Amino acid sequence: MNPFLEISPSVNEALQNGQPIVALESTIISHGMPYPDNVATALRVEQTVRENGAVPATIAILNGKLKAGLSEAEIEHLGKTGRGVAKVSRRDIPFLLSSGKPGATTVASTMLIAEMAGIRIFATGGIGGVHRGASETMDISADLQELARTSVAVVCAGAKSILDLGLTLEYLETHGVSVIGYQTDEFPAFYTRRSGFGVDYRLDSPAEIAKVLTIKWLAGLAGGVVIANPIPAEHEPLAARIQAATEQALSEMQRLGISGKEVSPFLLGKIKELTGGESLRANIELVLNNARLAARVAVASMNSKFT
């Protein structure tokens, strides 16, 4: 057992009993939404996982430990502290463990800790990717490298629309990461169901997805998988409005010289402001939708004849 890994009693019991588990990130709590929406959403996501037959394991770094499974009080603390909690990717982990300071995990670090704990299914909002203008800035999310090396399947609403989606998909292909479209032939663009880019494979049921994942890892093919799950049509904002807000937010970001870890929080916050909160409402709905699918895939994985 990793001496820095701390698994909550409920998650540990689920692991011992072979129950389905879904990992959840904590950056969305501290950096993705304002308080108290962040805490309310995190608790709703956990409840959605439970309602669909799996055990939630929200992941963070607290008191010098990699935590797989948080209490309600710990989630509340992360939400209230907000951006006072460090945003943690793979490179940051040893420094947070050394200092004992709290850390909210990104897609990359959540995947890493989930794999350490023996959890293979992870639900999030959207993955990071290749940023626009990356040919000059080399701004490429660590999420993509983590997907190439870490054997965790990530259920998401595609990649955030603020990114260069074409280059993101090219990067995933180069590194051998399969992109599955759940009941769709088209890669979703976070807030919207369509992006103009295709997926590698379309699968239409949690059981089909679970079978592919089980065979992949039993065959010794390490690495993650992207399960792209479009936002439900009834919650999809107008694509033109999202596009206009995205372009305006990008222009302001460049004017202000914002870079690095601050890019995504700034852009998502600005898009929320420009859409009158519509993007935040969509964000909440797509996260809940991903939690539902992730739980169903985790349940199906337990029932797979290849398990």
- Look up the CATH number of the domain holding residue 212: 3.40.1790.10
Q: Decide if 25 is catalytic.
A: yes
Among 25, 76, 278, 285, the active-site one is 25
Label residues 266-304 b or e (16+ Cβ within 10 Å = b): bbbbbbbebbeebbbebbbbbbbbbbbbbbbbbbbbeee
How many folded domains does the chain comprise? Answer: 1
Among 6, 76, 146, 160, the active-site one is 160
pLDDT at 307 over 50: no
Q: pLDDT tens, 147-192?
A: 999 999 999 999 977 789 999 999 999 999 999 999 999 999 998 9
> Shortest CA distance to 147 belongs to which of 122, 117, 165?
122
Q: Tokens in use for 278?
A: 């519509």
Residue 36: asked if its preceding bond is cis (omega within 30°), the reply is: yes
- Give CA–CA dist 281/285, Å, rounded: 6
Query: Which residues are 5's β-sheet partners?
Result: 66
| pLDDT at position 305 | 59
Amino acid at 55: V
Strand-pair category, 225-228 with 178-182: parallel
SS3 category, 151:
coil
Q: pLDDT tens, 248-260?
A: 888 888 888 887 7
Helices (H), the chain: 9-16, 27, 37-51, 72-81, 93-99, 107-117, 134-137, 142-149, 165-174, 206-218, 239-256, 263-274, 278-303
Distance from first CA to last CA of the chain, Å, rounded? 23
Q: What is the signed CA dihedral for 59, 80, 162, 112, rounded to 10 degrees?
A: -10
Mean pLDDT, residues 276-304 taken together? 92
pLDDT at 282 over 70: yes
| pLDDT at position 176 | 97
Its domain, for residue 99, covers: 5-303
SS3 labels along 260-306: HHHHHHHHHHHHHHHCCCHHHHHHHHHHHHHHHHHHHHHHHHHHCCC
Q: pLDDT tens, 105-146?
A: 999 999 999 999 999 999 999 999 998 787 777 889 999 999
Yes or no: say if 280 and 237 are a contact pair by the CB < 8 Å rule: no
DSSP H or E run through 182:
strand 178-182
pLDDT above 70 as % of the chain: 98
